[in-house]
């Protein structure tokens, strides 16, 4: 089963907690044990799993990536968003989760995030559920 979700990102760079949407897709599928793939089809966005208890962690991730991977005058890409493309490649466009007892197997503090590196934009991501 495959589900698609749309979201409007509100900032040039930021993380949106999509854990609820991923849980919704798993529940809709009826799969109790299997795998869940969360995939982003954009070249300036990504998917990651990280802490969702303290919102400052998401802000720190964005700030850290901005500091480590900023646009350089030597970049040749005409749109001027090469750093966003690099961040997408570094973070990655997908995450795979284990489904156990009908729920994603996440750690106590973990959540699933859509990472925007070139917003604001209308974005889409997919959740693919495969049962045992």
Question: What pLDDT digit, counting tens, does each position of 2-49 carry?
Answer: 999 999 998 899 999 999 999 999 999 999 999 999 999 999 999 999
Element (H, E) at 66: helix 55-68
Does residue 72 register a pLDDT over 80? no
What pLDDT, on the 0 to 100 scale, is given for residue 78? 67
Q: Tokens 């990280």, residue?
A: 50
Q: What share of the chain is helix, strand, coil (3-state, %, to 5)?
A: 25, 40, 35
* The model's pTM: 0.94
Q: Whole-angstrom Cα distance, residue 92 to residue 115?
A: 10
Answer yes or no: are the C-beta atoms of 113 and 15 closer than 8 Å: yes
pLDDT reported for residue 119: 95
Burial class of residue 110 in the structure, from the number of CB atoms within 10 Å of its CB (0-12 exposed, 13-18 middle, 19+ buried): middle
Q: Any idea which of 27-31, 62-66, 67-71 has the lowest mean pLDDT?
A: 67-71
Between these two residues, 31 and 72, which has the higher pLDDT value?
31
Residues 6+ apart with CB under 8 A from 66: 13
Reading the block at residue 56, the tokens are 């400052």
Q: Which residues pair with 95 in a beta bridge?
A: 38
Phi/psi for 103 (5° steps) reads -135, 150
pLDDT of 79:
75
């Amino acid at each position: 089963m495959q589900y698609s979700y749309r979201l409007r990102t509100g900032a040039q760079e930021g993380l949106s907690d999509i854990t609820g949407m991923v849980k919704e897709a798993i529940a809709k599928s009826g799969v109790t044990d299997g795998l869940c793939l969360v995939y982003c089809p954009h070249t300036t966005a990504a998917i990651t799993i990280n802490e969702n208890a303290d919102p400052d962690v998401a802000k720190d991730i964005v700030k850290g990536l901005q500091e480590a991977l900023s646009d350089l005058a030597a970049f040749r890409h005409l749109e001027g968003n090469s750093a966003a493309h690099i961040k997408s490649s570094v973070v990655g466009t997908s995450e795979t989760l284990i489904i156990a007892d009908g729920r994603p197997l996440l750690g106590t503090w973990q959540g699933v995030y859509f990472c925007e590196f070139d917003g604001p934009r209308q974005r889409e991501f997919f959740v693919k559920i495969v049962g045992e």
